[in-house]
Structure 1
């Protein structure tokens, strides 16, 4: 059995590198100064334009439209390779990729996520990370030869996250008192005062 990746159950490392338009992309992404609260599929791949990497990128593109768990979870997909911005831009345009594709020519993100070399050490490894809504790495797939398995792996991890969230919500409802909205609280207060007046 392969050893567990050291980032499992740890906060996802941050980095800032260019996207396919040359704009600086901050990861994890933020909205109005706060980290976004949605799962993220961060996939590192060897080289834009090669057969396997193209198929992998298109699998993620199609899953965002066709796969129910991708749509329900509102997952953010982000692709990264060491290709320059110009090549990423052409790759995104040619295959109509609907998610950010980043250029990591200096391997800053690769180093942060401990991405080594792939088969025979000839290229970067193909590794996918699934990060939960709290920014914690929950799943890692290191499979350089299985370009078709990464989008499926993300779907399974998203299903597990959804099941876990549902269980936590159910336990919380069973163990705690449901919160009241202001009008309900006021109504209960008036009833309590009326009952006290009658009994007093």
Structure 2
């Protein structure tokens, strides 16, 4: 299995189906890593929709979404559930960034965070506008998550 990309290396390219809830309309489309180029991207891999830690994590990122936008960044969430599950999760918790479906865990494997039989490790990768990994956190147990303050500080460092 590949290891997670190190800071300074290119992030593995991908295209995944995703859903974005705006107002009450769910827009489904493909998301390509190449389309995020030009501005920083916070790529959040989370184990499961509507689970306790994942819900707390994604709700906190939604609450701080303007903070990320002020730093020029977008946020994408990635997990193994399908788009129907993502849409229910987004509607229930008013999540305001795209949730991408890595149902076969191919992207989790490419990023070196797949755990056979269990899914994936809770991870965050911050990519710069060129698609280079600038910061990463890969959890061992996944019972906690990286808070918005940490992510905002890393995004601010990209501007320096």
Range class of TM-score, shorter chain? 0.7 to 0.9
Could you tell me which residue of structure 2 aligns to residue 178 of structure 1?
none
In 2, Cα distance between equivalents of 1:28 and 1:76 = 13
Could you tell me which residue of structure 2 aligns to residue 59 of structure 1?
60
In 2, Cα distance between equivalents of 1:155 and 1:89 = 26
Could you tell me which residue of structure 1 aligns to residue 78 of structure 2?
80
Which residue of 91, 105, 108 corresponds with 1:107? 105
Could you tell me which residue of structure 2 aligns to residue 177 of structure 1?
none
Q: Give, in angstroms, the shift of residue 153 of structure 1.
A: 2.6
CA RMSD of aligned residues (A): 2.0
In 2, Cα distance between equivalents of 1:128 and 1:152 = 13
- The normalised TM-score by structure 1 is 0.68
In 2, Cα distance between equivalents of 1:63 and 1:25 = 22
Which is richer in helix?
Answer: 1
Does the 8 Å CA contact 1:56/1:151 hold for their aligned counterparts? no
Q: Give, in angstroms, the shift of residue 114 of structure 1.
A: 1.1
**Partner SS for 2:159:** helix
Aligned length: 149
Q: Give, in angstroms, the shift of residue 14 of structure 1.
A: 0.9
Which ranges in structure 2 are unaligned for 5 or more consecutive residues? Answer: 20-26
In 1, Cα distance between equivalents of 2:87 and 2:143 = 25
Does the 8 Å CA contact 1:46/1:124 hold for their aligned counterparts? yes
Q: Give, in angstroms, the shift of residue 24 of structure 1.
A: 1.8
**Partner SS for 1:29:** helix
- The normalised TM-score by structure 2 is 0.83
In 1, Cα distance between equivalents of 2:76 and 2:43 = 5
In 2, Cα distance between equivalents of 1:132 and 1:6 = 13
Shift of the 5–15 alpha-carbon distance from structure 1 to 2, 3 Å rule, reads closer
Does the 8 Å CA contact 1:7/1:113 hold for their aligned counterparts? no
In 1, Cα distance between equivalents of 2:14 and 2:113 = 14
Could you tell me which residue of structure 2 aligns to residue 23 of structure 1?
29
